[in-house]
Amino acid sequence: MTVTRFAPSPTGYLHIGGLRTALYSYLWARRNKGEFRLRIEDTDTARNNEDALGAIMEAFEWVGLDYDGTVEYQSKRNDIYKKYIDQLLSEGKAYLCYMSKEELETLRETQMANKQTPRYDGTWRPEEGKVLPPIPEGIEPVVRIKAPKDGIITFIDGVRSIMNFSSNEVDDFVIARSNGVPTYNFVVAIDDALMGMTDVIRGDDHLSNTPKQIVIYEAFGWKPPKFYHIPMINNPSGKKLSKRDGAMDVMQYKRDGFLPEALLNFLVRLGWSNKDQEIFSMEEMLELFDPTHINKSASAFNEEKLLWLNSHYIKNVSNERLAKELEFFDCHIGGHDKKEIILDLTKERAQTLVELKNAIAAILDAPSEYEAKGVKKFIKDETIIKILDNYVKLLEENADNLNISIDYEGVTKPFIEEFELKFPQLFQPIRLALTGSTQAPSVYDIMGVLGVEVVCERIKIACEKNFNKE
């Protein structure tokens, strides 16, 4: 059975790189009818953040990535780690090291001065015929693993194929600090083994950790999982993604008006593809995703693509869903008798739910000011005010028969012909009067939504104010 995991550290908010890793792991497990587990790597208590942990859980709920079993917290597994550290010590596969921080720093400086790679020199490593230094007073030892001194550490990476690391690149690294707290590479290997991980999908910034974790697996005689190291997400210039480029808290995307389907669709394509297909439902992702097809090169964040995808999903989800989503932005139109018409009018141009909310407000809320550029272009003299006054009288005379957009069209076309107007000469001033802008949807549709009483009132107010012309 395929078992994958997502294992964030609660030291910062979940960003999109982490969410992409979680998505890939989720898809691979679900496609193979396996398990997707969530593990919180919180052994670094000094850096843990309760708000960050809450944000991780909130993000998972928002995008709909469900996990199997209970959430595992490394901070609650210290007894397990101690057991395996003691096992390695008793088997002679790990040892106590009493080298002080000052000694380590001196060693490091000397090696760098000699243009050598900084590494532990094995001073406290027990070996046959070797006499260890006397145990110093006042030094609490760390625990180091006995790493192989020669040979090749080999593993298969599902993205990069066979990876070979010379054993001399891995020194006797620390597996438990002087206070007894185990280190990252040790607990990750222990947890992945005990939780039965078959496939580990993670960022390629972890690639250098893998040889160390292989050493731990081999020390216990365990079979390592299959590794897939995903290239990073860069900004459009090919540099590391920053908050300004989009590497922000996942929940900020919700606050900015993105639908979770759009964000997941966007992320699945940042490093993986299925020919030229751009739109993927969750069902299609589950059917098609294969981590062996992940690109070997880094992907570039493209905000325009994300906005395009989001606009696609806004157009294609149900109006009932949109109305529900808009409640998050304090836009409540679920009970409006013309909800369907309003959403059909506004969602075609909206790239985000924030834009959708603003477009709806532009129709339903009376304008407090009028677009200066539009007023200058279309409200040139008193003639248009008189035309609008006559138009209001026409609407009031036919009020009983004006209900939907086609009714307004029926009385407006003859009016345009009678006054020998071009359509923009009437419609743009009406748009300005009704919404304050010249960029609103069809005038007939807006009037159908507002109703004749509101339409007449807004046109009268605009004319009385002379569209706020100075």
Q: Which residues are annotated as a binding site?
A: 243
Told to judge if 243 belongs to the known catalytic residues of this protein, a careful annotator would answer: yes
Alpha helices in 155-232 (DSSP H): 184-194, 210-220
| Beta-bridge partner residues of 240 | 234
CA-CA distance, 302 to 299, in Å (whole number)? 9
Structure tokens at 452: 């004749």
- How do 226-230 and 199-203 pair as beta strands? parallel
CA-CA distance, 222 to 245, in Å (whole number)? 41
Residue with tokens 């670094």: 44
CB 444 within 8 A of CB 405: yes
Packing angle, helices 423-435 and 353-364, rounded to 10: 100
CA-CA distance, 122 to 391, in Å (whole number)? 93
From the candidates 82, 130, 243, 377, give the one annotated as an active-site residue.
Answer: 243
Residues of the binding site for ATP: 243
- How do 94-97 and 142-145 pair as beta strands? antiparallel
The phi, psi pair for 15, rounded to 5°, reads -105, 175
HSE of 380, CA atoms in CB hemisphere, 13 A: 4
CA torsion, points 347, 352, 353, 358, in degrees to nearest 10? -80
Cα angle: 253, vertex 255, 256; to 5 degrees: 60
Packing angle, helices 443-450 and 405-418, rounded to 10: 130
CA-CA distance, 449 to 345, in Å (whole number)? 10
Residue in 431, 15, 2, 64 with CA at minimum distance from that of residue 201: 2
Positions annotated as catalytic residues are 243
